């Protein structure tokens, strides 16, 4: 039996980058280490939740006591999320899903030929927006990594994706992606709170405490 602010709840977290194949040996991806999402999953578990982590390729071990589903592409992540969604109370999308994928993955390794090479990219599904705009709908939390204008970009993103809460951070050299520390500003309907720069595990605990509070407030409306 579990105690804690998320006792009895099911939390689904996405983390890490996705990889989108160009050919059998190459891919398009990004600098996400998965550390923030893994810390969020661990903090939700600490708070008493049953946690499933859908993870892109990362160099991290699965946190103890958590069910982990490994995926590679955005399409695989979407399918895994859909499969885990029934019965989920809170969804936290911390993955850095590749926004685009090659229109077609070449069956054979591409050969060097011309001086220039163009890749034709198509949009990936927005997993978070689909969850937030689906039915039934868990309490939905997203992340926004921005290189500037944090406040305006995060508020707009929260509205556009229909999120209950968005956790925004500035990214750049030594900040956010692939870093040990992070800082977050949280925005929800009618409020916001800044969590100062600290280790990702500590930051994740503070984020989970606020998510739990907002979740319980929303459920008692
Ligand atoms: O729009 P942007 O990519 O900045 O939004 C970031 C948030 O959306 C993150 O929470 C990320 O996990 C989620 N996302 C997603 N699927 C995508 C793109 C982003 O779930 N294809």
Kindly indicate the confidence band of residue 131, based on its pLDDT and cuts at 50, 70 and 90. very high
Q: Whose CA is nearest to atom 13 of ligand 1?
A: 128
pTM equals 0.96
Ligand 1 proximity of 164 Cβ (cutoff 6 Å): no
For atom 2 of ligand 1, the residue with the nearest CA is 144
Mean pLDDT of 136-161: 96
Confirm whether residue 128 is marked as ligand binding: yes
Q: Known binder of ligand: residue 53?
A: no
pLDDT-derived band at 220 (thresholds 50, 70, 90) equals confident
Ligand 1 atom at shortest distance from the alpha carbon of 128: 20
- Across the range 149-178, mean pLDDT stands at 90
Q: How far apart are CA 87 and CA 186, in angstroms?
A: 25
Q: Which domains does the chain have, with CATH numbers?
A: 10-99+120-219 (3.40.50.10300)
The answer, yes or no, to whether residue 177 has pLDDT greater than 80, is: no
Ligand 1 pocket test, candidate residues 41, 96, 142, most atoms within 8 A of CB = 142
Instruction: Please work out whether the CB of residue 74 comes within 6 Å of at least one atom of ligand 1.
Output: yes
Model pLDDT, residue 135: 93
Counting residues of the chain whose pLDDT is more than 70, the rounded percentage is 96
111 is in an annotated binding site: no
The complex's ipTM? 0.95
Question: 176: pLDDT confidence band, cut at 50, 70 and 90?
Answer: low
pLDDT higher than 60, residue 65: yes
- DSSP letter for 164, please: S
Q: How far apart are CA 179 and CA 58, in angstroms?
A: 14
Over residues 180-216, the pLDDT tens digits come to 889 999 999 999 999 999 999 999 999 999 999 999 9
Interval between CA 218 and ligand 1 midpoint (Å): 23
Q: Which among 169, 204, 178, 2 has a CA at the least distance from the CA of 92?
A: 204
Say which of 30, 116, 124, 169 is annotated catalytic: 30
- What is the pLDDT, as a whole number, of residue 175? 67
Can you give the pLDDT at residue 2? Answer: 63
- Cβ pair 45, 6 in contact under 8 A: no
State mean pLDDT over 99-103.
98
E-strand stretches of the chain: 10-15, 20-23, 26-28, 50-55, 67-70, 90-93, 100-102, 121-123, 139-146, 165-170, 181-188, 191-199
Residue 161 is labelled as binding a ligand: yes
Q: Determine whether 30 is an active site residue.
A: yes
Pocket test for ligand 1, best of 15, 17, 85, 93 (most atoms within 8 A of CB): 93
């Amino acid at each position: 039996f579990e105690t804690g602010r998320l006792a009895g709840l099911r939390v689904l977290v996405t983390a890490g980058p996705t990889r989108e194949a160009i050919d059998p040996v190459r891919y398009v991806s990004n600098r996400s280490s998965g550390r923030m999402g893994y810390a969020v999953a661990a903090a939700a578990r600490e708070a008493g939740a049953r946690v499933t982590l859908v993870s892109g390729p990362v160099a991290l071990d699965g946190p103890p006591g958590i069910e982990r589903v490994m995926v590679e592409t955005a399409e695989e992540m979407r399918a895994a999320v859909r499969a885990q969604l029934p019965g989920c109370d809170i969804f936290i999308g911390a993955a850095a899903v590749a926004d685009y994928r090659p229109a077609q993955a070449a069956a054979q390794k591409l050969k060097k030929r011309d001086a220039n090479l163009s890749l034709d990219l198509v949009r990936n599904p927005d997993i978070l927006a689909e969850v937030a705009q689906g039915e039934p709908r868990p309490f939905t939390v997203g992340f926004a990594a921005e290189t500037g204008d944090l406040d305006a970009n995060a508020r707009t993103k929260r509205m556009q994706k229909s999120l209950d809460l968005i956790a925004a951070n500035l990214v750049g050299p030594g900040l956010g992606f692939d870093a040990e520390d992070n800082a977050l500003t949280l925005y929800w309907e009618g409020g916001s709170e800044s969590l100062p720069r600290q280790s990702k595990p500590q930051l994740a605990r503070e984020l989970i405490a606020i998510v739990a509070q907002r979740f319980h407030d929303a459920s008692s409306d």
